[in-house]
Amino acid sequence: MLLFPCITATDIVDYTTDVFLFGSQAKCRIFVVFPKIAQSSVNGSTLTIESMNLTDPTADGFYLSLSSKLENTGPISASLDPMSLSLLSMDGQLLGNISTPQINASPSGTEVDISQFFQIIDMAAFNKFTSGLLKNSTASFQVHGQTTLRALGQKTQVTLTKAVNMTGNFVQRNAYNRT
């Protein structure tokens, strides 16, 4: 049984390199599967939004404070370099972009807090998306970005693409009473 069933024979890259053992140089063949394992771990992870707060709106964006949890990241700790994430509607319309800090993922799950300016790219698509938020108690969107994953002394480029589903009351109704 394979430890990583996502790996096929075509994913294994064969390198020949020089190694030094006990003062002697020898040729050694190594098989590199780290990029495939890293991307598989990213693909298998889940992203859950726990809370978000939108403040300081401008004509083209707002300040977003977001608390989320990244889970099911695999059996080893890894870090993801800071990246630009695109937020897309479920039909693929680009809503906007936000930057993330470095994320240090652990097998037990990782809290990811982002406090950044959210730049709206397509105002019409964003307005359509927020209209849905006002009418429904659920919201779905996608996040997409590319970054470098670092683990076990190795690094590789990975693509993060996640569907995010949120439930809750997105509008504070009756926040104050008028008399």
- 116 part of a folded domain: yes
- 68 part of a folded domain: yes
What is the pLDDT averaged over residues 51-80?
A: 91
What is the reported pLDDT for 84?
96
| CB 12 within 8 Å of CB 33 | yes
Bigger pLDDT: 119 or 170?
Answer: 119
> Does the pLDDT value for residue 179 go beyond 80?
no
How far, in Å, CA of 134 to CA of 71, rounded? 28
- 15 part of a folded domain: no
- 117 part of a folded domain: yes
What is the pLDDT averaged over residues 86-94?
A: 92
What is the reported pLDDT for 59?
93
- 3 part of a folded domain: no
Name the residue range of residue 134's domain: 34-167
- 1 part of a folded domain: no
> Does the pLDDT value for residue 7 go beyond 60?
no
- 178 part of a folded domain: no
- 2 part of a folded domain: no
pTM of the predicted protein model? 0.75
Mean pLDDT of the chain: 81
pLDDT grade, residue 152 (50/70/90)?
confident
- Give per-residue pLDDT as tens, 97-119: 999 999 999 999 999 999 999 99
What is the reported pLDDT for 22?
59
- What's the CATH code of the domain at 101? 2.60.40
How far, in Å, CA of 156 to CA of 150, rounded? 7
What is the reported pLDDT for 142?
94
Poorest-pLDDT segment among 16-20, 71-75, 135-139:
16-20
Q: Could you give the number of structural domains in the chain?
A: 1
> Does the pLDDT value for residue 10 go beyond 60?
no
SS3 string of 19-61?
A: EEECCEEEEEEEEECHHHHHHHHHHHCEEEEEEEEEEEEECCE
